Amino acid sequence: MPFCQSKCPYCDFYSFKSSQAEIEAYSSALINSIDSWAHKLKSSVDSLYFGGGTPSQAGADRLAQITQKVYQAFNSGGQEILEASVECNPSDTGSKDVMFDFEKLAQAGINRISLGLQSALDEERAALGRLAGVKEAGEAIKRAKAAGIDNISLDLMLAIPGQTKDKLRHSLEFCAQSGAKHVSAYLLKIEESTPFYKVKDKLNLPDEDAGAELYLFAVEKLESYGFKQYEISNFAKEGYECYHNLKYWQTKPYLGLGPSAHSFIDGKRFYYPENLSAFLDGQEPHDDGKGGGIEEFVLLALRLKEGLVEKDLKEKFGIEIPPSMRKQAEIFQKQGLMVCDEKKIALTARGFLLSNPIISRLLEEM
């Protein structure tokens, strides 16, 4: 759902401000696309994820309608969608002058909300260009819960301008007290195409070491609140790991609809280009090469706390973890960056911070 009320200065996703008419047109195109893909794929779905942009901009009615369409087109045999998430902005869903009908969503089968909290400090939220305050975020959580949606995830940002451990602690405590079941905590990356990039030297960004410390602090705190880390940036209460997102890291198939959405089906990766009108015109997605190879499997598995499990590798590719890779992993283990045992090799929190060079090094031994 490539719509946003306003563009945040750090964001390089494909999204823009749109009129109701445009959102309407887009929803129809999406529904057509759902129909045609269901016809083509002839398989059911067990998870659904509305990402963005800001799906909540489309309003509960349209989201419910699209969800129903997915059920009808893909799961006509009565199969259940185990997890159906909608990304929401506090400004759309928690402001006192806005009515967002969580109940309608719940009735349509949505059972998970991912809320763009980013920070529980209004000054930090404002610096990040977020429209609403912490109060609205709290209100949105309350309303969702009241509608029976208790699987709530909060997005946090780490290493944002001026962030200190104390400020971060405040946001982490908010997550713990809000009753959320899941937290995604992302280290801010300054992307070249964003307004932040142009002024990055004036942003008072935490340096590399401070950023690393903030991340480790977040991991430690979240764990202490019962949010167990299961991926580089993801933490959940027992049993609340995001079923949908795990599929990406386990190289399972997925279908992404809408401009800039990516898919992985039958070993092929493809995507709709960042071009709304092309999507509205019903243009075919672009090929993005083969996927699901062993390198990809390894690099994605190593994003998970569980790591690269030998049994999985054997099942999928018929090989064990190469001894030279194991040896390299053991060197990293001595540096406190990995943990290794007979069953698996996995990164530690400190290792996650260095996951690019570590994974790259390990893949040299593939």
Partner 1 sequence: MSAEIKKENIRNFCIIAHIDHGKSTLADRLLELTEAVSNRDMSSQLLDDMDLERERGITIKARAVRLDYKAKDGETYALNLIDTPGHVDFTYEVSRSLAACEGAVLVVDASQGIEAQTLANTYLALDHDLELVPVINKIDLPAAQPDLVAAEVEEVIGLDCSQAPRVSAKTGENIAAVLDRIVQDVPAPGGDSKAPLRALVFDSIYDSYKGVIVYVRIVDGKIKAGDTMTMMATGAAFSVVEVGHMHATQVRPTAELTAGEVGYICASIKTVDEARVGDTVTLESNPAKEALPGYRSVNPMVYCGIYPADGADYGNLREALEKLRLNDASLTFETESSGVLGFGFRCGFLGLLHLEIVQERLEREYDLDLVTTIPSVIYKIRLTDGTVVEIDNPTHYPDPTLIDSCEEPFTSAHIYSPADYVGGIMELCQDRRGIFKDMTYVSDDRVDIHYEMPLNEIIYDFFDSLKSRTKGYASFDYEVTDYRKSDLVKLDVILNGETIDALSFIIHAEKSYPRARRIAERLKEHIPRQMFEIPIQVAVGGKVIARETVKAMRKDVLAKCYGGDITRKKKLLEKQKEGKKRMRQFGSVEVPQEAFMAVLKLDEN
At which residue do the structure tokens 């494909």 appear?
14
Give 221 or 303: the residue with its C-beta nearer to partner 1.
303
User: Residues 295, 320, 330, 341: which binds partner 1 (CB under 8 A)?
Assistant: 295
Beta bridge partners of 154: 115, 183
d(Cα 174, Cα 187) in Å, to the nearest integer? 18
Query: Does the footprint of partner 1 cover residue 264 (CB under 8 A)?
Result: yes
Rounded alpha-carbon distances, angstroms, from residue 197 to 11, 189, 356:
10, 10, 21
Minimum Å gap between C-beta 186 and partner 1 is: 4
Phi-psi group of 289: left, alpha or beta (phi > 0 → left; psi -120 to 50 → alpha; rest → beta): left
Tell me, what DSSP letter sits at residue 320? P
Q: Find tokens 């290493």 and name the residue.
A: 159
Identify which range of 25-33, 112-120, 255-263, 316-324 contacts partner 1 by CB under 8 A: 255-263
- Report the Cα–Cα distance between both ends of the chain, in Å, rounded: 38
Q: Tokens 């929401």 map to which residue?
A: 88
Of 254, 271, 253, residue with least CA distance to 262? 271
- Applying CB under 8 A, among 86, 212, 276, 340 the residue interacting with partner 1 is 212
Q: Which positions from 113 through 152 interact with partner 1, judged by CB under 8 A?
A: none
Sequence-distant (6+) residues with CB within 8 A of 150 are 144, 179, 181
Q: Is 271 in the site for partner 1 (CB under 8 A)?
A: yes
Stretches 66-74, 137-145, 286-294, 338-346: which one binds partner 1 (CB under 8 A)? 286-294
Q: Residues touching partner 1: how many (CB under 8 A)?
A: 43
300 near partner 1, rule: CB under 8 A: yes
* Chosen residue from 299, 308, 321, 340 binding partner 1 by CB under 8 A: 299
* Residue 217 sits in the site that holds partner 1 (CB under 8 A): no
Query: Smallest gap, in angstroms, from Cβ of residue 344 to partner 1?
Result: 19
Q: For residue 255, what are its two tokens? A: 């279908």
DSSP secondary structure code for residue 57 in this structure:
G
Stretch that binds partner 1, among 40-48, 93-101, 109-117, 208-216 (CB under 8 A): 208-216
Q: Is 56 exposed, middle or buried (0-12, 13-18, 19+ CB in 10 A)?
A: buried
Please report how close the Cβ of residue 194 comes to partner 1 at its closest, in angstroms: 14
Q: Does 355 bind partner 1 (CB under 8 A)?
A: yes
| Minimal distance, residue 227 CB to partner 1, in Å | 16
Which residues are at the interface with partner 1 (CB under 8 A)? 51, 186-187, 189, 208-209, 211-212, 215, 232-233, 245, 248-249, 254, 256, 260-264, 269, 271, 288-289, 291, 295-296, 299-300, 303, 335, 337, 352-360, 363
